[in-house]
Copies of this chain bind each other. A is one copy, B any other.
Amino acid sequence: MPSLPDISESEWSLMEALWESSPQTASELTKTLRPTMNWAENTVRTLLTRLIDKGAIKTGENSSGTRTYLPAVKREACVRAEGESFMQRIFGGAAKPLLVHFAQNSKLTAEEVRELKKILDQSLNS
């Protein structure tokens, strides 16, 4: 697997928008993100360029000939990479302490706890 690009925090917002819906043009993306990040369109374009350089997204073209952008890497893969790196940095790479931490620091509903326990069991025999 080609090692995944390093996606910064701002860039991640763009990626999320594209994973959510793509292709999108720069101005569409700007509008999509306007509510959350109040970025100037040039800011969005700069980030898009950087993401292309990093190989995280590709370009296409819509019917009117305007450039469009779409993910070149899968979200799940990026989430795994970010997760690995976080786990490494903060929990020395160990999953259990991480899970313990979040289990203890989150208010989960009984239903969620039930689901999680099920997933834990499944993680064993598969």
Q: Residues of A with Cβ closer than 8 Å to B?
A: 9, 12, 79-80, 82-83, 86-87, 89-90, 95-96, 98-108, 110, 112-113, 115-117, 119-121, 123-124
| B103 and A83 contacting across the interface, CB-CB below 8 Å | no
A117 touches which of B9, B89, B102, B120 (Cβ 8 Å): B120
Interchain CB contact under 8 A, B120 and A116: yes
- Within 8 Å by CB of A100, from B101, B104, B116, lies B116
Contacts of A105 in B (CB 8 A): 80, 83, 95
* A124 B104 Cβ-Cβ under 8 A: no
With both beta carbons as reference points, the residue of chain B lying nearest to A78 in the complex is identified as: B90
Tell whether, in the assembled complex, residue B106 and residue A123 are in contact, meaning their CB atoms are under 8 Å apart.
yes
Residues on the B chain within 8 Å of A107, using CB: 95, 123
Cβ-defined contact, B120 with A113, below 8 A: yes
- Across-interface contacts of A89 in B (CB, < 8 A): 9, 12, 82
Q: A96 and B115 in contact (CB under 8 A), knowing A108-B123, A120-B108, A124-B110? A: yes
